[in-house]
Copies of this chain bind each other. A is one copy, B any other.
Amino acid sequence: MGQQEGCIAHHFGHYGTLSENDRHRLDALEGAAVDVIKGQVLWHEGDIAREFCTLGRGWAYSFRHMEDGTRHILEIFLPGDIIGLCEFSFKQRLSSVAMLEDGEIRLVSNRQLHDLFRQSTSLMSLCFAVCSYQQAVLSERMVHLSRRSARQRVAYLLFEIFCRLRRRNDGLEECFRLPLSQQQLADALGLSPVHVSRTLTAFRHEGLLKIARGWAHMMDRRALAREGSVSGCLHDHVEPLV
């Protein structure tokens, strides 16, 4: 860990200032770095859950298999994200998680985090804030997925990812890595891969957005935000209880 900030401390820090002490305690929770490879499944839906993990490097996604054989991607995790924090009070996994590319994770014991809250109420409070924030993101996404056109869905998802990336890396320009196939985008958006392709092609011709070879290029960020009806990044207007 050393001088580098742990993922948990970094996320919690968005919702309030951490004492040196709390920061150390959080950093101490994160286990040793474990290398994981593209496609590797971190856990399956229904597995017993005794820990969650932080994603130090690489992208991941959580998903569920539906009765009709289709797959739905619930969440996309970016480098620096915490995976499964919001489920930490359950014994079983609610969804499976797999890597989108090679990366590095650190396991964290549910129990240890839980015990930590006994010592620091402010940490508990921050954890609530983090979970609430994620729930808010989920609601927001639900609204956008359930009643919007393919163009809006695609624009929204790309913009959401962009906002989240920028949250961690402030200097982020319009070009960024996007290790998602169109099939995976389709699974996340509730569209067919064919239609995702058509939509992306249209965006490219209109000069809004170009996606190729694992990279996204937002050629007209403003128009894309308008297309996706993005109303300011969610975290801009959400403040936690101290």
Contacts and interface: CB of A to CB of B under 8 A. Distances in A.
Interface of A: 46, 64, 66-68, 70, 72, 74, 86-92, 94-95, 110-111, 114, 117-118, 121, 124-125, 128-129, 131-132, 134-136, 138-139, 141-143, 145-147, 189-190, 229, 231, 237-241
B189 A146 contact: yes
Nearest to A234: B94
Contact of A89 (B87, B125, B138, B237): B125
Given A89-B132, A91-B240, A146-B189, 6 more contacts: A88-B128, A89-B125, A89-B129, A117-B121, A146-B146, A146-B190
A129 B121 CA distance: 17
A143 B229 contact: no
A86 to B, nearest CB: 6
Contacts of A229: 66-68
Contacts of A125: 89, 114
